[in-house]
Amino acid sequence: MSKKITAYKVTKIFPSPRGQVVAVKDFSLEVEDGEFVCIVGPSGCGKSTFLRILAGLVPATCGTCAIHRSPDAPPGKPLNSVVFQEYAIFPWKTVRDNVAFGLQMRGVPKKERFRIAADWIQRVGLKDFADCYPHELSGGMKQRVSIARAFANDPEVLLMDEPLAALDAQTRAVMQEELLRIWESDRKTVVYITHSIDEAVLLGDRVILMTARPGTNKASFTVPFPRPRDLSLSSTAEFAQLTYGIWNLLQEEVHKTMEGRAR
């Protein structure tokens, strides 16, 4: 197996008028090709910041961070595509144009990009909504568009920043299963940020635990459950055991965060 992502001692310091804020400190991560890695941590621990550094949206203050191209990648294949928590799909583009956006920016001819977009729109179950504008869709459907846009762009790695956090609990459960199904049919390397341990264990091959701010490596868990998985996994004793084990470590960090706030 080859390494897809190597991040070594990534640190991010935000300057502010009241002094510096260290968001991420010496965080390291290695991800194999085709691996689904979930990063869990208390809120405000800098996990989103790390993802944005990985995506190249903000520069790291120090440390190195790289996404490796596969040797047989066609020219123009993007390094990463982000699925944002707030959907971040364009209200002025139809579902089809949103999903085809990355391909359009890369200069893929219209016919070809619409063919790829149509395929992904069908895979996320929005076939009848291809010509709709986002305001005509529900929250879950918008996030499907966002996911389809990322997959259709066919990047080296997918970066997901709490993609299901804005959805209600029932829609989230449905979307988790759907995400599993889509990912298992097209095993891309994924880095998935979440604050839900259940979600991380259900979806991921590995769960990385981050400390309270400044965020750094706390622990790493390998998720042993076989694929294909579905929601029934979450009712097994092994699942409960693993999530509880992670929670035991995480709650220390949550308490730290809360005490930090109280002060």
Partner 1 sequence: MSGQRTVSLRFPRPAPAWLKSLLMLVGLVIFNGVLFVFGGWKKNWIVAITANFVGVALVLEWMTAYVSARRLSAYERALSIGFPIAMLVAWELLVRGGVLSATWFPPPTKVARALWDLATEYDRFNKTSLLGRPWLIPQIYSQQGWAGVKALFAESHLWATLMRIFAGFIAGSIPGLIIGIAMGISRTMRVMLDPVISALYVIPKITILPLMMLIFTPFGETYKIVTVAISVFFVVLINTMAGVKGVEPILVEAGKNYGATGVRLFWHVIIPSALPVIFAGLRLALGTALIVIVAIEFVRAKSGVGYITWYYWEVLNPPKMYAGLIVIMLLGVVLTYGLMSVEGLLMPWQRRREQRQVIEVPEG
* Chain positions contacting partner 1, by CB under 8 A: 55-57, 78, 80-82, 84, 86, 88-93, 101-102, 105-106, 133-136, 149, 153
Structure token pair of residue 41: 């941590």
Classify the phi-psi angles of 234: left when phi > 0, otherwise alpha if psi is within -120 to 50, otherwise beta.
alpha
Q: Shortest Cβ distance from residue 248 to partner 1 (Å)?
A: 34
- The residue ranges of DSSP E strands in the chain, in sequence order, are 3-16, 19-32, 36-40, 62-67, 80-83, 157-161, 189-194, 206-210, 217-222
> How far is the C-alpha of 119 from the C-alpha of 121, rounded, in Å?
6
Q: Shortest Cβ distance from residue 94 to partner 1 (Å)?
A: 8
137 phi, psi to nearest 5 deg: -110, 155
Instruction: Confirm if 184 and 32 have CB atoms less than 8 A apart.
Output: no
138 CA to centre of own chain: 21
Q: Shortest Cβ distance from residue 211 to partner 1 (Å)?
A: 26
Q: Is 215 exposed, middle or buried (0-12, 13-18, 19+ CB in 10 A)?
A: buried
Q: Which is nearer to partner 1, 104 or 196 (CB)?
A: 104
Q: Which is nearer to partner 1, 133 or 247 (CB)?
A: 133
Instruction: Confirm if 31 and 39 have CB atoms less than 8 A apart.
Output: no
Q: Shortest Cβ distance from residue 60 to partner 1 (Å)?
A: 16
Instruction: Confirm if 67 and 54 have CB atoms less than 8 A apart.
Output: yes
Q: Shortest Cβ distance from residue 247 to partner 1 (Å)?
A: 30
Q: Shortest Cβ distance from residue 55 to partner 1 (Å)?
A: 6
